[in-house]
């Protein structure tokens, strides 16, 4: 019943804001245009289409808001008016009452607001689908006087998210049953991944831990700034971090006016992404412009500042190595290697002809090399690859869905910063260097250094362990020999019994024949 009510609300919002008219108006067919006129009778749809779409997504809740955030970064796929409106979803979702936020903080931290902060701004500085942020100044302890950002979880999110996820699970099950590609695309597994990340985002302690890990990963580089976490002020509903100053990355004109090198900024954005994915296997997976600032402070001028760590992705060593080899093969235009990697990984059936897959991948990717970013739509490339994957029964990998989403965000961001950026040439040297460090002599030496302490601990015990092993082996061998001899003796006895029984049977038969002959010769028969 809950899901049915939620579905009814979705349908009502779609009709109320005229999203059906928005979709159908994109067709030029006269019949469809006539249908649009009919279905809009009695509805006042005076607001611009982008504003209606933004308000509808906001009304439908966090999952739909996040979908709008992703769309807002794809100005190559969306009309400008719609993309501009959807960009407001990045940090300008209507806030909830500040009094409610204060009550949540005091209840979570167990103290009045005046004992926690010297100063607390009642008006939120940013509001998104899951939480809103207030600026404050800490009171007490070693961090007294530090300027912070206080993130407070939006109340009542869990029931809405659970309801939407239940609908998504039902739709995924339905797709698997009625769509030929359903099983190959693994929609239920994809929804399960989405479920995990959304529920993690509802626990701000998990977000704080993600921020701390990302800060540690980049503390020795000049690429990315991550705010410090103040753990004594953190709970499941409240996350307090260092206040960061910078210009939102979407304000390109302001960045240029401040003297930021946009080409360098775009290149470093690509490097940050690949560093997170391939060096650390731990990446910020919600990199829309609302979550990224650029520092203009003299000591960190032009560096990226990351915010909002609720959604992160993680990759196994197998995934990292497989993806790196695929990327490098793409950049080298070695499509045979790409096809071979797909077969070796089990992503396509083993009987797939490598040459056919190679030809199909070449047709997808070759037209886009040596072109600047503004002439490439990674979204369209992925769409063509998706069509190819259907033909060759490529299995979708749910653990890489977040990575694909983030890659689309990165491309959209790079397109805004520097349309002439060559994505391939920027990423290729980094990946080649990473592969050399992982599989070359340097990589072997690094792994030896990591394992050396454990080996040093085990080495003194090695003679004793080897002696025990050989002793057990010998005992085990003796025991096996004894068992084998016993089995042979038992088998010999059984054979002897069978042979004796056979002799008795033959002897009895021969004796019976002799007796019959004697009786016959004596005239008894």
Q: Write out the DSSP string of 27-92.
A: ---HHHHHHHHHHTTT----S-HHHHHHHHHHHH-HHHHHHHHHHHT-TTTS-HHHHHHHHGGGTB
Q: State yes or no: pLDDT of 271 exceeds 70.
A: yes
Active site residue 286: yes
CA distance 373 to 70: 18
- The SS3 assignment for 314 reads strand
Q: State yes or no: pLDDT of 138 exceeds 80.
A: yes
Q: State yes or no: pLDDT of 242 exceeds 80.
A: yes
Q: How many Cα atoms are found within 13 Å in the side-chain-facing hemisphere of 223?
A: 18
Percent of the chain scoring above 90 in pLDDT: 21
| Residue 183: band (very low, low, confident or very high) from pLDDT cuts 50, 70, 90 | low
Q: Which fold has domain 98-313?
A: Transferase(Phosphotransferase); domain 1 (1.10.510)
Q: In the prediction, which pLDDT does 518 show?
A: 47
CA distance 59 to 44: 18
Q: In the prediction, which pLDDT does 514 show?
A: 44
pLDDT digits (tens, 9 = 90+) for 350-366: 788 888 888 888 887 77
CA distance 279 to 100: 41
Quick check: 45 and 52 in contact, CB under 8 A? Answer: yes
Lowest mean pLDDT among 335-349, 375-389, 392-406: 375-389
Mean pLDDT, rounded, of the chain: 76
pLDDT digits (tens, 9 = 90+) for 50-64: 888 888 888 877 777
91, 164, 286, 418: the active-site residue: 286
Which has more confidence, 35 or 105?
105
Which has more confidence, 138 or 325?
138
Structure tokens at 264: 């360098």
> Which residues make up each annotated binding site?
125-133, 151
Structure tokens at 5: 């009510």
Contacts (Cβ under 8 Å, ≥6 apart) of 376: 368, 423
Quick check: 242 and 148 in contact, CB under 8 A? Answer: yes
Lowest mean pLDDT among 114-128, 237-251, 284-298, 356-370: 356-370
Q: In the prediction, which pLDDT does 32 show?
A: 65
> Which residues make up each annotated binding site for ATP?
125-133, 151
Q: In the prediction, which pLDDT does 524 show?
A: 46
Rg (CA), the chain: 35
């Amino acid at each position: 019943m809950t899901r049915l009510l939620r579905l009814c609300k979705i349908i009502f919002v779609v009709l109320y804001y005229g999203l059906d008219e928005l979709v159908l108006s994109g067709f030029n067919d006269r019949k469809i245009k006539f249908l649009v006129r009919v279905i809009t009778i009695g509805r006042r749809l005076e607001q611009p289409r982008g504003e209606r779409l933004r308000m509808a997504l906001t009304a439908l809740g966090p999952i739909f808001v996040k979908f709008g955030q992703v769309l807002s970064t794809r100005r190559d796929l969306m009309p400008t008016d719609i993309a501009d409106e959807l960009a407001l979803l990045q940090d300008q979702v209507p806030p909830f009452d500040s009094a409610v936020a204060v009550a949540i903080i005091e209840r979570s931290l167990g103290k009045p607001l005046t004992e926690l902060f010297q100063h607390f701004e009642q008006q939120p500085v940013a509001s998104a689908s899951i939480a809103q942020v207030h600026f404050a100044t800490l009171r007490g302890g070693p961090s007294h006087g530090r300027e912070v950002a206080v993130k407070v979880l939006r109340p009542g999110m869990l029931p809405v998210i659970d309801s939407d996820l239940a609908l998504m699970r039902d739709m995924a099950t339905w797709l698997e049953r009625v769509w030929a590609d359903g099983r190959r695309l693994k929609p239920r597994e994809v929804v399960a991944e989405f479920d995990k990340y959304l529920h993690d985002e509802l626990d701000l302690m998990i977000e704080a831990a993600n921020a701390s890990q990302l800060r540690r990963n980049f503390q020795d580089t000049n690429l990315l700034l991550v705010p410090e976490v103040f753990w004594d002020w953190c709970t499941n509903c409240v996350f307090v971090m260092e206040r960061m100053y910078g210009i939102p990355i979407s304000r390109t004109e302001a960045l240029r006016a401040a003297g930021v090198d946009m080409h360098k900024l775009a290149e470093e954005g690509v490097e940050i992404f690949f560093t997170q994915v391939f060096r650390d296997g731990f990446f910020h997976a919600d990199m829309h412009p609302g979550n990224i600032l650029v520092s203009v402070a003299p000591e960190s001028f032009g560096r990226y500042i990351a915010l909002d760590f609720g959604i992160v992705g993680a990759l196994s060593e197998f995934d990292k190595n497989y993806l790196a080899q695929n990327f490098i093969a793409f950049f080298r235009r070695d499509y045979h290697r790409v096809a071979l990697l797909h077969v070796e990984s089990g992503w396509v059936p083993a009987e797939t002809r490598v040459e056919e897959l190679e030809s199909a991948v070449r047709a997808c990717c070759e037209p886009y090399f040596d072109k600047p970013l503004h002439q490439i739509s990674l979204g369209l490339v992925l769409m063509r690859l998706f069509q190819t994957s259907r033909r060759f029964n490529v299995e979708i990998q749910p653990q890489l869905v977040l990575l694909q989403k983030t890659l689309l965000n990165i491309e959209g961001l790079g397109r805004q910063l520097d349309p002439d950026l060559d994505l391939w040439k920027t990423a290729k040297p980094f990946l080649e260097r990473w592969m050399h460090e992982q599989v070359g002599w340097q990589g072997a030496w690094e792994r030896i250094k990591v394992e050396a302490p454990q080996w040093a601990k085990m080495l003194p015990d090695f003679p004793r362990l080897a002696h025990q092993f050989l002793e057990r082996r010998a005992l085990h061998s003796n025991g096996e020999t004894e068992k084998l001899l016993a089995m042979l003796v038992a088998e010999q006895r059984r054979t002897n019994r069978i042979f004796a029984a056979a002799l008795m049977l033959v002897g009895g038969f021969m004796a019976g024949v002799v007796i019959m002959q004697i009786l016959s010769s004596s005239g008894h028969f």
